[in-house]
Structure 1
């Protein structure tokens, strides 16, 4: 039975969470706290459909984004238990065409390396994801795209978050079973657990899907398209699952039970459970960068943090400011967690094996900070009865101001560095189609209404104005509200991201330079005409 004191503390959190929503413009948020498989507290605040004034409920489907990674890791463990795949075998054993930018790694990278983000290879999200969650690269180009990704860390000695690794694991699982990823998840996890509203497909005939929003400068919201990655698209394995509070309560109850059971029994299975190899999944395989008194690492699809400490190393919060220090007066406790983010959606789950408790937070917007992250931490501190808790309303106010001011700071930085005493060549000199090395991504530069414009993949829906910056460099910077209306991520991109430079001989431009990768901000990628 839940003590009144614990119940009261969690109800007190509702008031704080409403304040967080108010200062961040968050339109809706759903959350639950579950211990020993029993729900302690659930709330649905705000509107899943703002214009219609519809609230969410336990059956409302949200995109869970990168929380999907723990489910794909679980699926990999289940299939490994059948003997169909060896997680420690090189990827090349299953995908013979697999290669890396660093050819020395092509025969060494394993599925565990991919699932734990320890390849040291940079991500590529700024390229494949377009406006309003449009997917700009086809799934059949995953292997050749991965081959172009450059190292920005040391193999097996650096944590570098990489969604493409999960996409490759999904391809391996499909290859060894002969079945699509969505079918594998249904057959091995969702159906055995009785999850009727969990899949990698939205099913747009369903009237209880949460809409997706971006928060504007004045804290109003603009609707953007729901995250479109899912069944049959690139990044299905990295973040394509959609689910509900009700289904996720069942799923994480079973998952946490299997984790606890398999460590206690020192085995890789639990009687009556679908989950296998939980000890491998939960064990730390890579260490987060930076100094830390207590553990900060990553397993397979689940991050590991120890209280007191930080619990948002895979959240969007770090793009706005430092992660809060959680549970200052708590006894040392392990927290397994993961966040998820796509434009118009952020999510979070925290699991405490020693307390047999987990917290799930789902929200249908991109706010000026990672609201799901702060809400889950607030609930965690209330559950633990932290005597010196963080002031999450105050933190949210400060971080929201920082997040909403990001684009203006970028504009000021661009202006500070700009040489305004230069003029461009005639616009015709820059026009053309510029391709990356493997010819699967194009930046078309054209003239529209007397001005220069770039179109990602040549798509009119991905058209951005190019304004002259200096010499043969142009900027596609936009104010906060315009980025929000386009449904694009805002925080985390520096001034160099918004600069496009042309080069060539004798004013015949044949190369476009774009530093699109935040991990390699000082290194521009080349696109050839």
Structure 2
């Protein structure tokens, strides 16, 4: 998720010159271990292969920024170039900041890591009373709440709800796993973690992160909302595939779930954040986070099973999640990492604690695997491994994934029952539908076709599939949503529409509201 801010012009010019000098001067000193000039050429070549409009990369080694550079353009069709100060949405890279803020409150004696959420948010409620009572702060930060992967994200993607209302509705979101039994990536739990901050400090998450992390780290260009991007020139536009072509799109506001991913930043600022991580809480000689807090943040709290594919292709032996950080092994090294994905933006930061090295990559296109490909190429260089064309590998794997998707579509088509009709006239399906968690949805009859409307990111036309099931094609889906969904209507004993079932990320039932 995103957020941004800017250096004064004179400071920005100084930093850009310094980055260039570091790149050129350090290249010779580090040529034995890190061939920066060859990497520089590879980064641009891979960007073109993946058709990513723009990206920026920064590397940190031994507490110094040794490389910071932009590639491509901020927006297709416009001349503005990406540089080291271009602002991008860093999305879920925000999560580690939120975890660190709770660590500061633990240090101050206002929280304990094993505090139950209801101790600080008495009105907080989950679907299961046991989970309501037992859920603790570490659970919020480790994706082990039992809620579905991305469950509830439709409450903030394209929606207008505020943080309090989203948190209130959690009582209606059914889990699909027991508490602490399974890793299931969950944005809304980080929202709850962020709401603990004003509960114990009377300061909003937005103000607290500015005062306690962004300002001490000199991240003067980083902001907590796209509202602060207005009037700034050096801002990357998000891009997605629209009607078969890569095109600039509008930012999605994620203010409602800010603690999970609303930061916008650039590689210069994010390099300072990596310096803090590699320095184990020390930045420019000043301790900002205690050793015990850093150990807590960087310790695995939730294991993640290693799949056959990751073991075969990356030699992975373990994988897990700390507090806002993924961790795994690569070539005998512990790797700490987190990515961020939002509408038209992908980012990835990765660091090797034992090598005192980190890399951050920001891009203005989604989805793609370029950030992973470039990261592995850079890690191989740092570790002295043979140069491998990871970009070509990931492009091949992308084609294999597309082939799997085509086969899945063919299988779905084969299951379609031909020669059927809806039970009712189309106008009988039109109306308002409601779910306690999701709120209201509309089905409208427009120019002889049914249209499903929930919010701007969840709207589309429906074509009859078979029986009382229709196939919905989303007009403007976020990058990681399926482009289509089936909508099934259910009739009551009187032959009237009673409810519908569809899928955003998981199945959702909306009940018909009687006029």
Question: Where does 1:363-512 land on structure 2 (aligned, <5 Å)?
Answer: 363-367=363-367, 369-387=368-386, 389-402=387-400, 411-424=409-422, 425-438=424-437, 440-457=438-455, 462-477=458-473, 486=476, 488-490=478-480, 493=482, 498-505=485-492, 506-512=494-500
Name the CA shift for 1:16/1:141 in 2 (closer, same or farther; >3 Å). same
Given the two structures, how large is their TM-score scaled by the length of structure 1?
0.83
Counterpart in the other structure of 1:281: 297
Q: Does structure 1 residue 249 correspond to structure 2 residue 259?
A: no
Query: For structure 1, which segment, 69-78 or 501-510, has the greater mean C-alpha deviation from structure 2 after superposition?
Result: 501-510
Counterpart in the other structure of 1:311: none
Partner SS, residue 35 of structure 2: helix
User: 1 CA distance for matches of 2:445 and 2:204?
Assistant: 42
- Structure 2 stretches of 5 or more lacking a match? 1-25
Partner SS, residue 147 of structure 1: helix
Kept after mapping to 1: 8 A contact 2:152/2:173: no
User: 2 CA distance for matches of 1:214 and 1:507?
Assistant: 42
Aligned-pair CA distance for 1:139:
2.0
Question: Where does 1:161-200 land on structure 2 (aligned, <5 Å)?
Answer: 161-200=185-224
Partner SS, residue 110 of structure 2: coil
Counterpart in the other structure of 1:221: 246
Q: Does structure 1 residue 525 correspond to structure 2 residue 512?
A: no
Question: Where does 1:286-301 land on structure 2 (aligned, <5 Å)?
Answer: 286-290=302-306, 294-301=317-324
User: Over aligned residue pairs, what C-alpha RMSD do you find?
Assistant: 2.5
Write out the 4+ residue segments of structure 1 that deviate beyond 6 Å after TM superposition: none
Q: 2:502 aligns with which of 510, 514, 520?
A: 514
Summarize deviations over 1:343-397 as a string: whole Å, max 9, x none. 2000000111111110000001113x2322222222111222213x543232232
Name the CA shift for 1:490/1:193 in 2 (closer, same or farther; >3 Å). closer
Partner SS, residue 346 of structure 1: strand
User: 1 CA distance for matches of 2:320 and 2:414?
Assistant: 38
User: 1 CA distance for matches of 2:353 and 2:75?
Assistant: 35
Summarize deviations over 1:279-324 as a string: whole Å, max 9, x none. 111111000034676221100001111123xxxxxxxxxxxxxxxx
Aligned-pair CA distance for 1:216:
5.7
Counterpart in the other structure of 2:111: 85
Summarize deviations over 1:464-519 as a string: whole Å, max 9, x none. 101101111111136xxxx6xx252246x49xx6001111223300201123334x
Name the CA shift for 1:139/1:516 in 2 (closer, same or farther; >3 Å). same
Partner SS, residue 106 of structure 1: helix
Counterpart in the other structure of 2:73: 47
Question: Where does 1:328-347 land on structure 2 (aligned, <5 Å)?
Answer: 332-347=332-347
Counterpart in the other structure of 2:46: 20
Partner SS, residue 441 of structure 2: strand
Aligned-pair CA distance for 1:404:
5.8
- Structure 1 stretches of 5 or more lacking a match? 262-268, 309-331
Kept after mapping to 2: 8 A contact 1:61/1:243: yes
User: 2 CA distance for matches of 1:5 and 1:355?
Assistant: 16
Counterpart in the other structure of 1:307: 330
Counterpart in the other structure of 1:312: none
Summarize deviations over 1:223-266 as a string: whole Å, max 9, x none. 1112421xxx221000011111111112221232025x7xxxxx
Partner SS, residue 84 of structure 1: coil
Given the two structures, how large is their TM-score scaled by the length of structure 2?
0.85
Aligned-pair CA distance for 1:402:
4.6
Aligned-pair CA distance for 1:119:
1.6
Name the CA shift for 1:172/1:26 in 2 (closer, same or farther; >3 Å). same
Counterpart in the other structure of 1:74: 100
User: 1 CA distance for matches of 2:480 and 2:349?
Assistant: 23
